[in-house]
A and B are shown apart, each in its own frame.
Chain A
Amino acid sequence: MLKQTLSAEWLKLRRLRIWIVLLALPVASVLIGSANYAMNQGVLQKEWYSLWTQVGLFYSEFFFPVLIAICCAALCRLEHMNKNWNMIMTAPVSVASIYYAKMVICAVLLLLVQFFFFLLYIAAGHLLGLPAQFSSEVIGWMVRGWIASLSIAALQFSLSLVIRSFALPIGIGLCAAFAGLGMYVAKLGMFFPHSLLSIGMGVLGQGGLSPHQQFIWVLMNLLYFIILSIYSIRRMSQRDVIA
C-alpha cells in the first residue's frame, strides 16, 4: 500500500519544479557564508571549522527550517486544490500510508538537499584554498541535521495537512525557527525541534555532544517525530476533511 502511495506522491511531485527552490536556498547560504569567510580570514583561522560556521549559520538557523516548511507545504498543496482531499481520502489506501508516503518523499528530498549543501561546502573550501583534508565531523553534523529535519517535517506536516494556505505554515515555520534560536540561547534547545536542528548541525557550538546528550538528542527527535506523526494521522482519520 505504501509503495502505491509513494509512486503517487512522486507522480504529483514531477511537475512541481520544487527542485529549483531546493537548490537555490543552499546556494545562497554557501555563497554568502563563503564570501564572509573570505573577507574575514584574519579572524576566522580554524579553516574548515570556520568555513562551516559561516556557511552553516544562515543555512541551519534560517534557510533549512523554511526549506523544510516549503517542502511540506508543497507536498500537501495539490490535496488542498480542486477538492482533491475528497478523492484521496476515498482511495483504497490507509490514512497512515498517505501520511508516511509524504513523509518518505520529504525525507528523501531533504537528504538530497543536505548532500547538495555538503558538496557546495566542500567545493567552497577547495575554491578558498583550504587544505584537502576536511574534518570528518562535518558528515556527522550533516546526518544529525537530516535527522532533526525529520522532526521539523513532522511538525510542518501537522500544520500543512490542516491549513489550506500554502504560505501560512511557512510563516509559522519561520517564527518557530526564531523561537528555536531563542530556546537554544536559553539553553532549552533539547525541548524544541528547531533548536534540535541547531544542536545537531553544530553551527553555534562545535564542542560536540557527550554520549548522554547524544542519547537525549536522539530520544527527543524520536519523540517529536512519533508524537507529531500520530497526531497528524489521527487527525486525518477522525476529522472530516475540508476540501
Chain B
Amino acid sequence: MIQLLSLEFYKIRRKRLFLMATLFLGVELAGAFMAVSMSLARHPDQEEWMPLLATLSSMNGLFLPILSAVCVSRISDMEHKGNTWKLLLSVSVRRGQLYLAKYICACVILLGVSLLQIAAAAAFGIGKGLWESFPLGLMVQFMAGTLLTNMVIIALQQWLSLAVKNQAFALCLGMLGGFFGMTGDFFPQAVRQYFIWSNYNGLSPVRQSYVDNAIQFTAIDGGALLPQASILVVLGVVIYIAGSRHISRQDI
C-alpha cells in the first residue's frame, strides 16, 4: 500500500498540484482577510477571532469543493489520458487498493491546504494583535470540520472522476458543490443535511446570525456538532465504498 501511495505522489511530482492548490488558497485567503479587515474596521467591538473563522468557513464552502474537484480530477485524469489502467492492473494491483491510494493522495493534498489555511489565519489574527485570546479549541474544531467535509467530498469527486472519462462532469459537480456550499444556509435544515458541501458552514465552530440588522457571532460547542458529523462520516463511508466497488467492477 505504501508503495502504491508513493507511486501516486511520484506520478504527480511534476504536476505542481500543491503549488496550484496554494495559489487557489491564496485567492480565497485574500478575499477572506479583506472582508474580515473591513468588518473589523466597521465593528471594532466584535470578538475578533469569530468573524475570521466564520468568514473562512463560508469561503471554504465555495472554494474547497472546487479545489477538491480540480485536485481529484488531475489525479484521476492522468490514468484516463495515458491509457494506463491496463498497465496498472497488469502489475497485479487490486483496483480497490489503487482507489484507496488515490484517495489518500488527494486527502493529503487537501490536508496540506487546510494546515496552510489555519497557519495563515493564525498569522493574520496575531498580526492584528490578538495573540492573548488565541482560540486553540475553536481552531481545532474548525480544522476537524473542514477536513471531514473535504474527505467526503473527495470520495464523491473521485468516484465521478474515475467513472466518467470526461472531466467536465466532475468539474461541473465541483462547481455545483461550491454553489451549494456557499448557499447551503438558505435551505431548510431537512434539505441542507443532504448537501454534503454545506458542512463547511454546518460544522463550523462559529455561527453568524442577524439580530436587529447587526451580525452576531456565537461559538458552538463541539459536542453539539457531533450528530451532524456522525451523519457525514456515515455518508462518506457509503460514498467511498460505493465508489470503490463500482470502479473495481467497471470494465476497462
Contacts and interface: CB of A to CB of B under 8 A. Distances in A.
Interface of A: 16-18, 20-21, 24-25, 28-29, 32, 35-36, 39, 58, 62-63, 66, 70, 73-74, 77, 80-82, 164-168, 170-171, 174-175, 178-179, 182
Contacts of A175: 23-24, 27
Contacts of B24: 171, 174-175
Contact of B186 (A24, A35, A170): A35
A25 B242 CA distance: 26
Given A36-B186, A178-B27, A166 B167 contact: yes
Given A165-B15, A175-B23, A20 B69 contact: no
B238 to A, nearest CB: 24
28 contacts: A16-B166, A16-B168, A17-B166, A21-B168, A21-B169, A25-B175, A25-B176, A28-B179, A35-B186, A58-B179, A66-B171, A66-B175, A70-B171, A73-B168, A74-B166, A77-B167, A80-B81, A165-B77, A166-B73, A166-B168, A167-B70, A167-B73, A167-B167, A167-B171, A168-B70, A170-B70, A171-B66, A175-B27
Interface in B147-182: 166-169, 171-172, 175-176, 178-179
| Interface bin, chain B | 20 to 34
B183 interface: yes
Contacts of B178: 62
Given A20-B172, A168-B20, 13 more contacts: A21-B169, A24-B172, A25-B172, A25-B175, A70-B168, A74-B166, A81-B81, A165-B74, A165-B77, A167-B70, A167-B74, A170-B171, A171-B67
Nearest to A175: B27
Contacts of A39: 186
Contacts of A167: 69-70, 73-74, 77, 167, 171
Contacts of A178: 27, 31
Given A165-B74, A174-B66, A63 B166 contact: no
Given A36-B186, A168-B74, A171-B24, A63 B168 contact: no
A166 B72 CA distance: 12
Interface string B53-70: 000000000000011011
B74 to A, nearest CB: 5
A155 B167 CA distance: 20
Nearest to A58: B179
Interface of B: 15, 20, 23-24, 27, 31, 66-67, 69-70, 73-74, 77, 81, 83, 166-169, 171-172, 175-176, 178-179, 183, 186
Contacts of A24: 172, 176
Contacts of B81: 80-81, 164
Nearest to A176: B27
A6 to B, nearest CB: 21
A204 B203 CA distance: 31
A204 to B, nearest CB: 16
Contacts of B20: 168, 171
Contacts of B176: 24-25, 28
Contacts of B15: 165
Given A171-B24, A178-B27, A178-B31, A32 B179 contact: yes
Given A74-B168, A179-B27, A171 B70 contact: yes
A74 B168 CA distance: 7
A170 B169 CA distance: 12
A29 B176 CA distance: 9
B171 to A, nearest CB: 5
B172 to A, nearest CB: 4
A127 to B, nearest CB: 19
Residue among B27, B83, B168, B176 facing the most chain A CB atoms (10 A cut-off): B168
